[in-house]
A and B are shown apart, each in its own frame.
Chain A
Amino acid sequence: MRASEDMPIEEGQIIPAYQIPITKLRMMMYQAATWVPYRLHWDTEWCKANGFPDANVAGPMFGDYLTEMLVRWAGAARLKSLEYSNRGMAFPGNTLICKGKVRRTNEESNKRFADCQVWVENQEGRILAEGSAVVSLS
């Protein structure tokens, strides 16, 4: 569902989930597009030699997908900030599912904001990243 800048945002509202399958091909394309060829994120052989089970998804990808979920829901102009902490690794073959909900709405300096809880989980429900976002309501 595309965002409407007029769409009302209320306390308790569930943010429509956004999910994406992760493949090694997508991970390689992302590292190429961001111009960060760090082997940790595409070189399975190197990763295994350095103690990892496989190449793992770059942390910024969690932020990219959480942001896109929020933009699709509230619109780019209303999203003010996103804060997240990494909690687990994602690997080729995983599906990332971004979720969130509006914790509360509040007012500061005559402007209204929605404070949202957001997180990324994999197809097994394991939390990979979690944090919060601020959306402007004024």
Chain B
Amino acid sequence: MEQKSYISPEMKTLLGKETILKGTEPVDAGKIRRFAKSLGFDDPSYYDLKSGRPIAPLTFVFSVNHDSLCEVDERGRPTNRLPHPPPFRRGVRGGNRYQFFRPIRVGDEITVVRKITDLKEKQGKSGPLVLMSYEMKYTNQHGEILGLNTETVIFRVPQDLRGEGDEGK
């Protein structure tokens, strides 16, 4: 019996498409300090206001939503996040791969280019899964690369869409 595929032709058209997201203002010292403080970090370089400081923790570029003006949906999820492709309503973050180039500094104006790079299927313990990976490339106003983040989101195929043999899980 041929295994049913849960990756639709419409999903496949998303592969390779780029979305450009621009930060709405240059990074400032307060944004860096609040990020470090919220995590409980004690490195003085994240807080000093001497020349060239503070410098941001390395993951600041990946973890922060750089669009201060974006809307949120009723769940509080920013609308600039990658939409879940139909028919999937809820996804779980599977993991990330960060490549670090240099810490963010005050004055950096961040641009993110996001591109879906892979769609895969696998059988999970509770049924069929679709995995979507996308890459986000972060640069500043000088075109300097600041970071690369490849993220994988896992979608569980809804019960009502499962093919023969997958229903009971």
Task: From the candidates A26, A76, A85, name the one contacting B38 in the complex (CB within 8 A).
Answer: A26
Q: Is the CB of A29 within 8 A of B68?
A: no
Nearest opposing residue in chain A for B97, CB measure = A83
Residue count of chain B within 8 Å CB distance of chain A: 33
Q: Is A44 an interface residue (CB 8 A)?
A: no
Answer whether residue A40 sits at the interface, using C-beta atoms and an 8 A cutoff: yes
Q: Which of A61, A65, A85 is B95 in contact with, Cβ under 8 Å? A: A85
Q: State whether A86 touches B95 (Cβ < 8 A).
A: yes
With both beta carbons as reference points, the residue of chain B lying nearest to A22 in the complex is identified as B40
A65 CA / B57 CA spacing, docked (Å): 10
- Chain A residues with CB below 8 A from B9, complex form: none
Select A33's contact among B34, B68, B76, B98, beta carbons within 8 Å: B34
Interface stretch (choices B58-66, B119-127, B155-163): B58-66
| Interface residue from A61, A76, A85 paired with B39 (Cβ < 8 Å) | A61
Binary CB contact string for chain A from 58 to 76 against chain B (1 if under 8 A, 0 otherwise): 0111011101100110001
28 sample A-B contacts, Cβ–Cβ < 8 Å, listed by A number: A26-B39, A30-B38, A30-B39, A32-B38, A33-B38, A33-B64, A34-B35, A35-B67, A36-B78, A37-B76, A38-B76, A40-B76, A59-B95, A61-B63, A63-B98, A67-B57, A67-B58, A71-B57, A71-B58, A72-B43, A81-B97, A81-B98, A82-B97, A82-B100, A84-B96, A86-B95, A129-B95, A131-B95
